[in-house]
Amino acid sequence: MTTVAECAADDGLLIALVTAMTAELVVVYNLPVDAQPSPLRPGTRYLLAWDGERAIGCCAIEPVEPDVYELKRMFVAPDARGSGVSDALVTSSERLAQEAGGARIRLETGARQPAAMRLYERAGFRRVPNFPPHETDPESVCYEKPLV
């Protein structure tokens, strides 16, 4: 059974999962091998998904406006995909954002990630025009969902 819990930004297991996510994106989008995720704003909160003692997924919610959070760094270990971990992370991130005063949650994913797009659509996110800094990126796909 998957459990989800908040963790610190410097948690080694979180860092390992974000590193694996970045390595995967380097291949999918043909990025430079030394590509790194952008730093997240102060106030960002992080979640880890667990299968027993093993961290198998992560995400973050970043405050971007007074009542808007952005879902970031969503990743599930390849061998845990299809088991509901992503759903648990999305649900937990929505709850965390709402508890923090969020009225909306948004996200950006890539056009080469159809499984991610299906996940977000299944979770009730609706496609919106690309928001900054993604507005001119043809590979970006943006979504949003009200939390109230």
| Domain ranges within the chain, ordered by starting residue | 2-146
The model's confidence at residue 146, banded by pLDDT at 50, 70 and 90, is very high
Look at residue 1 and tell me whether its pLDDT is greater than 90. no
Phi, psi of 136 (to 5 degrees): -110, 10
Q: What is the pLDDT of residues 60-104, one digit of tens each?
A: 999 999 999 999 999 999 999 999 999 999 999 999 999 999 999
Q: Are strands 104-110 and 68-76 parallel, antiparallel or unpaired?
A: parallel
Tell me the whole-structure pTM to 2 decimals.
0.94
Q: With pLDDT > 90 as the criterion, what percentage of the chain qualifies? A: 95
The model's confidence at residue 111, banded by pLDDT at 50, 70 and 90, is very high
Look at residue 43 and tell me whether its pLDDT is greater than 90. yes
The model's confidence at residue 116, banded by pLDDT at 50, 70 and 90, is very high
Q: CA–CA separation, 59 vs 93, rounded Å? A: 8
- Cβ–Cβ < 8 Å for 2, 85: yes
Confirm or reject CATH 3.40.630.30 for domain 2-146, answering yes or no: yes
CA dihedral 79, 81, 84, 89 (to 10 degrees): 100
**Cross-sheet strand order for the sheet of 2-7:** 2-7, 45-51, 54-65, 68-76, 104-110, 140-146, 126-128
Residue 110 tokens read as: 């890539």
Look at residue 114 and tell me whether its pLDDT is greater than 90. yes
